[in-house]
Structure 1
Amino acid sequence: MDLQLTGKRVLVTGGSRGIGRAIVEGFLDEGAVVGFCARDPQAVSTTADELAGRGQVTGSVVDVGDAEALAAWVQTSAEAMGGIDVVVANVSALAIPDTEENWQLSLNVDVMHTVRLVRAAMPYLEQSDAASIIGISSVSGRESDFASGPYGTAKTAIVGYLHGLAMQLADKGIRANIVSPGNTYFEGGVWESIETGDPALFEMAVGLNPTGHMGTPADVAAPVVFLASPVASRVSGTNLVVDGALTRGIQL
């Protein structure tokens, strides 16, 4: 299937590893022009070099918790690419323990970076004929679990924010959707650290999934790329759960 993404201009936050990197790879494989950001200069440089042969990609060092830096990156990227068609808000602080600092961090990084990314990109999205906004939430934003608190609440807020945007922006032809992954395992990720640091929690999490295993970044990236594509032009306001049947609630 041709997803009609050739030449489309895409921005992805947190694109140097894990789900974010897989999303960047997915768009590149479909012929999109991709700009990504992350905080670690070495990770950004290495990722950009490794993906250069896959398509037209640019990496930038940006802390998405810094509102001015995020807005500047969006503007610079739009000028370099000649516009923006798709934005993917992927970064999370992964601030799970219930502390004052983690509440502030989750709201600023998870929620407000999504809001600020959309605001900064909006003038360019309004000029696109295939504008799409994707936010990465989590099953922890849909059902209460061990990550309820700062992390889970922030992920719930992302779903509410983007669902509202879908309605508000529909008459402009701008779509907004959410992808909510279940447990996703990758090298350097949170579940790898839990596997060694808290084996009992890791085994419990694996055991809860009917598939008997956790997902991969590529499992999450494919639905993101599809939802962002013109092929999914009638899909907006959807929270697509990608969890291998982990969650039990019926999504009406």
Structure 2
Amino acid sequence: MDLQLSGKKALVTGGTKGIGRAIVEGLAAEGVAVAFCARTEADVKETEQAVRAGGADVTGTAVDVGDGAAVTAWVGAAAEQLGGIDIVVANVSALAIGGEAEHWRSSFEVDMMHTVRMVDAAMPHLERSDAASIIAVSSVSGREIDFAAGPYGVMKAAIVHYIQGLAHQLAGKGIRANTVSPGNTYFDGGVWQNIEQNMPDLFAQAMALNPTGRMGTPEETAYAVVMLASPRAGRITGTNLVVDGALTRGVQL
């Protein structure tokens, strides 16, 4: 099926590893011109070169999304380079587990406010698009109490609320807004690989909660994001798409 994404223009934060990189690759494979950012310059360059090697139109920039002015400047520069913005994917998380004040601050600035600032900066361009889509990557930790209860879970829940509010506010302008909430996602260099190596008991507990007997892959979550970005999903807005292999048991009504 043609997802009708060819020629569209997208921004993706946290695009060098895990889910973010899989989103960049997934959109690029559909013919989307992608501008992505991440904090580490070396990772940005490696990802840009690797994805471009397949003929994709991607551009990476080193940006600390906890810096509001830097996010706004990057969105403006990327929009100018791309010639507009159709798709915004807010993916970065501080991954702050624990109740220290520093973790609350970093979760607010990185998880929540980077999403808000990115959307605000992109809005003038989205309003000119004929297929505008906003997608934020949340987490199942935002919809149930688990080991990440505290700043991480709270901010992930707040992102869902924010995005669903946008869906209602922007529906009349033809701008869609959705969240994707992945469950445990395993990849090289990721959080769960680190837990597997350094906290095997916690890893075993987490694995036991997965009815499928495995954790998810970045590509499985990226598929959900790419599908929601597609104009074919034109009737889907204000939803929180859970991608967790039946990990969570809460019923979405």
The TM-score range, normalised by the shorter chain, is over 0.9
Query: Could you tell me which residue of structure 2 aligns to residue 151 of structure 1?
Result: 152
Q: CA deviation at 1:197?
A: 1.1
CA distance in 2, matches of 1:132, 1:50: 26
Query: Could you tell me which residue of structure 1 aligns to residue 189 of structure 2?
Result: 188
Query: Could you tell me which residue of structure 2 aligns to residue 200 of structure 1?
Result: 201
What TM-score, normalized to structure 1? 0.99
CA distance in 1, matches of 2:251, 2:69: 40
Structure 1 letter corresponding to 2:89: V
Structure 1 letter corresponding to 2:246: A
Query: Could you tell me which residue of structure 1 aligns to residue 35 of structure 2?
Result: 35
Classify the secondary structure of the residue corresponding to 1:63: coil
Map 1:105-124; keep pairs closer than 5 Å: 105-124=106-125
Q: CA deviation at 1:67?
A: 0.6
CA distance in 2, matches of 1:12, 1:100: 28
Structure 2 letter corresponding to 1:152: G
Structure 2 letter corresponding to 1:27: L
Query: Could you tell me which residue of structure 2 aligns to residue 247 of structure 1?
Result: 248
Q: Deviations over 1:209-248 (max 9, x none)?
A: 1000000000100010000110100000000000000000
Give the count of matched residue pairs. 252
Query: Could you tell me which residue of structure 2 aligns to residue 170 of structure 1?
Result: 171
Query: Could you tell me which residue of structure 2 aligns to residue 99 of structure 1?
Result: 100
Structure 2 letter corresponding to 1:18: G
Q: CA deviation at 1:98?
A: 1.0
RMSD: 0.5
Q: CA deviation at 1:110?
A: 0.1
Query: Could you tell me which residue of structure 2 aligns to residue 66 of structure 1?
Result: 67
Classify the secondary structure of the residue corresponding to 1:109: helix
CA distance in 1, matches of 2:107, 2:229: 25
**Quick check: 120-129 or 46-55, which moved more?**
46-55
> Structure 1 unaligned runs (5+)?
none
Classify the secondary structure of the residue corresponding to 1:179: strand
> Structure 2 unaligned runs (5+)?
none
Classify the secondary structure of the residue corresponding to 1:191: helix
Map 1:211-222; keep pairs closer than 5 Å: 211-222=212-223
CA distance in 2, matches of 1:87, 1:44: 18
CA distance in 2, matches of 1:59, 1:147: 30
Q: CA deviation at 1:53?
A: 2.5
CA distance in 2, matches of 1:243, 1:125: 30
CA distance in 2, matches of 1:230, 1:24: 17
Query: Could you tell me which residue of structure 2 aligns to residue 2 of structure 1?
Result: 2
Q: CA deviation at 1:29?
A: 0.6
Q: Deviations over 1:61-111 (max 9, x none)?
A: 000010111001000000001000000000000001110000000000000
Query: Could you tell me which residue of structure 2 aligns to residue 237 of structure 1?
Result: 238
Classify the secondary structure of the residue corresponding to 1:12: strand
Identity of aligned residues (%): 65
Structure 2 letter corresponding to 1:160: H
CA distance in 1, matches of 2:66, 2:25: 24
Matched, 1:127 2:128: yes
Query: Could you tell me which residue of structure 2 aligns to residue 45 of structure 1?
Result: 45
Q: CA deviation at 1:157?
A: 0.2
